[in-house]
Structure 1
Amino acid sequence: MDSTSKKLANICKADRISDLPDSLLIAILALLPIETAVRTCILSKRWRPLCESLPNLEFSDYRNPGRHFTDFVDRFLMRRPNDLKIAKFRLDCYRGDYYRDRVNEWIMNALGRDLKEIDLLFRFQTCINWSKNFFNMCTSVEVLLLSGKISVEIPENVPLPRLRVLGFNNVTISSYESVGKLLLNCPVLEDLKIVDCEWLTGNSLSICGPVLKRLSCCLISYDEVLRTLIDTPRLENLKIGCYTGGDNDILFKLNLPFLKIAEIDICAHEMGQGVDWVFGLLKQINHVKILTLSDNTVEILSLADDDDDRYEFPPFHNLTELVINVLDYFDETLLDDFLQNSPNLESLVFPQSLVCIDESFRCSWGGSQSRVPECLSAHLKTVYIKNFAGYDEELAFVKYLLAYGSALRNVSIEISNLSKDDEAWQELLNLQSESTTCKLSLIDENGTCSL
């Protein structure tokens, strides 16, 4: 072996990685799943103590259920030096029969280490009740996410001075009122999510936050009457949903001057319910820039009586993007109302379809519009339609767009179950060839653009 080969062999044998400083090695290990990081540390004595210093601890029993998982978490937490902090602690449990009694101890151990982020997801058969000191131990926490089979009992006057992100997802909460009191003690909260929770008592939910920017709230209240007050003057992004059968109401204490994005999903338990609520909500947020309506909301709005003064359509002067989901019911007058009252609209999206399932409720575009909307002649640039099946109502709408859309630059149509031999396909090709300013893009089920 010549000298060059010997040098290369020595370089290959050298453990260059272990010569790196501890801080850099820990940063490398932190990029790996915790089980992989532990297995990696077994390869070198130099690496083994570093595993105990990982700042982010994420445990899941999905692949390692039972006693093995319990022993793994126990060893990892108990061997960790008491003065070593934890930045993030995530616990994702599918099978809890073996260690339900250990969960509280793991959580309290992590909270006692100046924890910044805690994310708990429990998929047990029944709710788990944890220590009443849980919230009192969260004074250093900045991100708190609770999901699944968790019973949340919020004590009085718990200060959470650093909490920026709070999420309750499918958990059981003691009362609506307790959440309002908790939020009063979160002065820097910026992101709040309350989704599909079960509420044991109460009928009044107060959502307040002087610096709250993002709010996602989905409530289920079939039987009780629920009043929701939103006092968030700095809100920028709102996602509001409610599945209701009662006389519920949402009230914004003040105007939301910074609101830019809103998504509304209101589902009525019975036909005719929710109309007042949805129209009232639209009037309170009509200065948004991006608005998304679920198919449930579209159905409620479509069933409103146009002759009723209570349902006068509000102007949307700032709206630039409108997303409309269509499934069961869609009245052409609803879309026309939006177009007529959104003079600066630039983008129109139908992410589900353009026509509803029941053919008796399908739109009939062509001569029903009283005047061409200002947005169509001046600002509307892009339209996206998914699941285009070639119905006459769909073709009529595309013709309407191309005929009056002076500002249109691109109409993208995702084809559904439509053969290139169908008359509708050929008609779309003819429309494309006749259009001089707008590009008509046909996208097949493989994502291939045909034009």
Structure 2
Amino acid sequence: METRSVKRRKRKREENVQEIIKVDRISDLPDSLLHQILLLLPLISAAKTSSLSKRWRSLFLSLPDLDFTSISDLSKPKSFSSNSIYKVLSLRNHRDSNNLRSLRFRATVTFTSLNSLIRLAVTHQVQDLDIEVTTKDYFNFPRWIVTSQDLRALRLKSAYPGFRLPTSSSILGGFQKLTSLSLSLVILDNQPRLSDFFTDPSFPLLEKLTLESCFGLKELKVSCRLLQEFSLKNSLQLEGLEVSGNKLQRLKVVNCFLTYSEKSFVKINTPNLKTFLWNLNAVTTSVHFLDKLVCLRKAFVKVFWLHQHLNSQTQSLFTLLSGLCNSYKLQLGNQSVEVNIYLQLFLLQFDLCFTVLLLL
């Protein structure tokens, strides 16, 4: 049988527990820490917390990162429209606008809706914009992206039929702080040569560039002094490629030069290149290395022929392999040659026809 003192201590402990339960310690945390907690949740779950109180509503509407691709539950996918994205952006307080570090969404939109979304994101000073859209027709590159002075990273991927780039003259003064750019499904039928687009005046701080499925592109020149990584994929009509940059370390070209041209060419001036990947490209009629790739560590080459006249192409292939002779590791299709001294002997002592056989 419990004594009075035991009962008193027990009742006191229960009162203390109830007092602790009543204290909302989560709400006492600073906004920055609560933001970090909300960012760990799918966006739909984070949005539900806005119904708890005015403060939690403010916390959700001032989240620094909005990822609408996480709005769907894996077991029960929920669709969302561009209107819902626009509504969330519209409700943000302008005093929190500089907190919008990143915006990511996938949606089916009209060009008008897309332009309105991007304009609102730029108004909130978005720094990282990742967009994948489906439209019913071609659309022009949104001008609000060009004029943004806060954008640091941009990924724009379009489903069929794609989008058109602006002219070089129309982007002068834009993209001044952009460091990363990825474009997919670009229509260049009216602009087949990009010789002055990806250069320092337009992209003075660009460090990473990815281009994929550039339809109609025939000649491309990339020359940005701070560029460190460049990737080009699925440009089937490409006939000429010129890449230069003292800071470029990684170069990747895949599935290009598939339309035969007697004047197809490649010019590479990247003295500090470390990784070179040349995969599933047709052999061009000429290759030029303007500098020795003395820093090259890894190189992969896999090519194929488009026609029966191989004289110019075999010489071009030999030039390509000779330019890679300083690589520590060179992989030809499924064959691998390591340590550059053996690679040099390989190129000098073996007949070129044997080299070609390794690529087939």
Measured after TM superposition, the shift of residue 80 of structure 1 is: 1.2
1:259-278 alignment runs, 5 A limit: 259-268=273-282, 274=283, 276-277=285-286
Tell me, yes or no, if the aligned pair for 1:314 and 1:341 is still in contact at 8 Å.
no
Aligned residue among 213, 219, 240 for 2:228: 213
Aligned partner letter, 1:230: V
Corresponding residue SS for 1:221: coil
In the alignment, structure 2 segments of 5+ residues that lack a partner are 1-9, 344-348, 351-360
Measured after TM superposition, the shift of residue 121 of structure 1 is: 0.7
**Could you say if the C-alpha distance between residues 194 and 127 of structure 1 is closer, same or farther in structure 2, counting changes exceeding 3 Å?**
same
Corresponding residue SS for 1:17: coil
Measured after TM superposition, the shift of residue 213 of structure 1 is: 0.6
Matched positions, count: 313
Q: Scaled by the length of structure 2, what TM-score is found?
A: 0.74
* Higher relative contact order, structure no. (Cα contacts within 8 Å, ≥ 6 residues apart): 2
1:118-133 alignment runs, 5 A limit: 118-129=129-140, 131=142, 133=143
C-alpha separation between the residues in 2 aligned to 1:189 and 1:282? 22
1:319 is aligned to 327
C-alpha separation between the residues in 1 aligned to 2:338 and 2:31? 63
1:133-152 alignment runs, 5 A limit: 133-149=143-159, 150-152=162-164
Measured after TM superposition, the shift of residue 153 of structure 1 is: 3.0
Q: Output one character per residue of 1:153-192: Cα deviation in whole Å (capped at 9) or x when no partner.
A: 3141243221111111223245244573253311111111
Corresponding residue SS for 1:5: helix
Corresponding residue SS for 1:180: strand
1:236 is aligned to 249
Instruction: Work out whether 1:160 is the aligned partner of 2:175.
Output: yes
Runs (4 or more) in structure 1 with deviation over 6 Å come to: 281-284
Corresponding residue SS for 2:86: helix
**Could you say if the C-alpha distance between residues 238 and 314 of structure 1 is closer, same or farther in structure 2, counting changes exceeding 3 Å?**
same
Aligned residue among 193, 206, 211 for 1:189: 206
Q: Scaled by the length of structure 1, what TM-score is found?
A: 0.60
Aligned partner letter, 1:144: L
Instruction: Work out whether 1:36 is the aligned partner of 2:45.
Output: yes
Q: Output one character per residue of 1:255-304: Cα deviation in whole Å (capped at 9) or x when no partner.
A: x2211111111433xxxxx1645x7579965751011234xx2x55xx97
1:38-57 alignment runs, 5 A limit: 38-57=47-66
C-alpha separation between the residues in 2 aligned to 1:50 and 1:341? 56
Tell me, yes or no, if the aligned pair for 1:52 and 1:76 is still in contact at 8 Å.
yes
Tell me, yes or no, if the aligned pair for 2:215 and 2:236 is still in contact at 8 Å.
no
1:306-345 alignment runs, 5 A limit: 311=318, 314=322, 318-326=326-334, 335=335, 339=337, 342-343=340-341
1:375 is aligned to none
Identity of aligned residues (%): 21
Aligned partner letter, 2:203: C
Aligned partner letter, 1:249: F
Tell me, yes or no, if the aligned pair for 1:121 and 1:146 is still in contact at 8 Å.
yes
Measured after TM superposition, the shift of residue 42 of structure 1 is: 2.2
**Could you say if the C-alpha distance between residues 59 and 127 of structure 1 is closer, same or farther in structure 2, counting changes exceeding 3 Å?**
farther
Corresponding residue SS for 2:66: strand
C-alpha separation between the residues in 1 aligned to 2:340 and 2:174? 44
Q: Output one character per residue of 1:11-50: Cα deviation in whole Å (capped at 9) or x when no partner.
A: 2342111001122212322333322211123234431111
Q: Output one character per residue of 1:178-213: Cα deviation in whole Å (capped at 9) or x when no partner.
A: 5732533111111111111223xx643211101111
In the alignment, structure 1 segments of 5+ residues that lack a partner are 269-273, 327-334, 346-369, 372-451
The alignment yields a C-alpha RMSD, in angstroms, of 3.4
1:113 is aligned to 124
Task: State which drifts further: 106-115 or 9-18.
Answer: 9-18
1:281-360 alignment runs, 5 A limit: 285=293, 288-294=296-302, 297=303, 299=304, 311=318, 314=322, 318-326=326-334, 335=335, 339=337, 342-343=340-341
